[in-house]
Homo-oligomer: A and B are copies of this chain.
Amino acid sequence: MEYKSEEEFLKAYDPSKFERLSVTADILILSVSSEESDNYRKTDKKRMSVLLVKRRDYPFKDMWCLPGGFVGYNEDLEEAPKRILKQETNLKNIYLEQLYTFGDVNRDPRMRIISTSYMALIDKSLLNESLSEDASWFDVTLMEEGNMVDMVFDNGEVTFSVKIEKHLREKTTDRYQFIVKKNDHLAFDHPRVILSGLERLRNKINYTDIVFNMMPEYFTLGELQQVYEVILNKKLLDPAFRRIIEPKVEKTDKMRTGGGHRPSVLFRYKDKD
C-alpha cells in the first residue's frame, strides 16, 4: 500500500497489530549511612545504603526488592523512576542515571516484562519524611575475593547475604557477567542490578563528580574521603586524596569542631567554571 504523505500514513496506521509488552522501571536508590561510634573521639563509620521494599504479594512474597513500577502508556520512560522516587522518598531533582535494561522472557513469572533499571544518588540528610511502611534502608557491604562478591545486607533487624560470581567476558554483551550463586532474600534479578549499580558508581567516581550528589552542602575532607573509601571499598592515603580532590572543592570559612581532636575545615563542592 502506498501513502502520499506522512500524515496520511499515520492516519491509517494501526498500532494494535504489533506485539506489546509491559515495561517497568526499577530504581536503585543509594546513599551513605553513618553508624555512631561509642568512642567520642572516633568518627562515625560510614556505609553504603540502599533502599529496599518488602514484597507483600506474589511472586517473591516476603522477599526484598528495589522500588519499581510500570511505565505508563503516556509517561516518558525517564518519568517513571522520578515518579517512583518521589513516591518512596518524597524527593525531587535527584541525580538519576539509567543502568541497564533487562528483558529475558522469563525474568518475571507473571508475564513478559522488560525492565529498565536506574540508579539514584541521594543525600540522606535531606530525608525528612518517614519512609513508606514496607520500605527500609539496608547497609550494603561488599566482601570481594577474586571473582566472588558477597553482598551483605543489614537494616538493623534483618541480615542476609547474596553471593555473586563475576566473569569477565570481553567478547560478548557486557564487560562482566554476574552469576548469582546464593540468594534467598532478594526478588527478581535485583542482585545483579544492585551490584552493577555499585560498580558503576565505583567506576564513575574517578572521572565524574557524581559523589557530591550524596554529600550535604558542607562537609570535611575527612568525611568526603570516607565516602570515597566506602564506594571504592578500600583505604585511601590522605595526602593523595587531598591532591585529587582539591580542584573539585572549595574551602569555606566554616569549621567542624567538637570531635576531641583538631577541628577541620568545611568544604563545599566547586562547580565547573
Contacts and interface: CB of A to CB of B under 8 A. Distances in A.
Contact of A20 (B9, B20, B77, B172): B20
A150 interface: no
Interface SS of chain A: loop
Which one of A5, A173, A210 has the highest number of Cβ atoms from chain B below 10 Å of its Cβ? A173
Contacts of A105: 74-76
Interface residues of A, number: 55
Interface in A58-91: 58-61, 70-78
A59 B6 contact: yes
A215 to B, nearest CB: 13
Given A20-B20, A20-B22, A78-B103, A173 B6 contact: no
Interface stretch (A10-18, A137-145, A156-164, A252-260): A10-18
A170 B209 contact: yes
Nearest to A61: B6
Given A168-B272, A173-B78, A18 B9 contact: no
A73 B116 contact: no
Interface in A1-37: 3, 5-6, 9-10, 13, 15, 18-23
A85 to B, nearest CB: 12
B19 A70 contact: yes
B213 A58 contact: no
A110 B15 contact: yes
Nearest to A57: B9
A111 B213 contact: no
Interface in A103-140: 103-105, 109-112, 114, 116
A171 interface: yes
Nearest to A102: B77
Contacts of A9: 57-59, 61
Interface in A213-245: 213
A12 to B, nearest CB: 10
Contacts of A116: 101, 103, 114
A102 B114 CA distance: 13
Contact of A114 (B77, B175, B272): B77
Given A19-B71, A19-B73, A77-B102, 19 more contacts: A10-B58, A10-B110, A13-B111, A15-B111, A15-B112, A18-B111, A19-B22, A20-B73, A21-B21, A21-B73, A23-B114, A76-B103, A77-B103, A77-B114, A95-B172, A97-B174, A170-B208, A170-B209, A171-B213
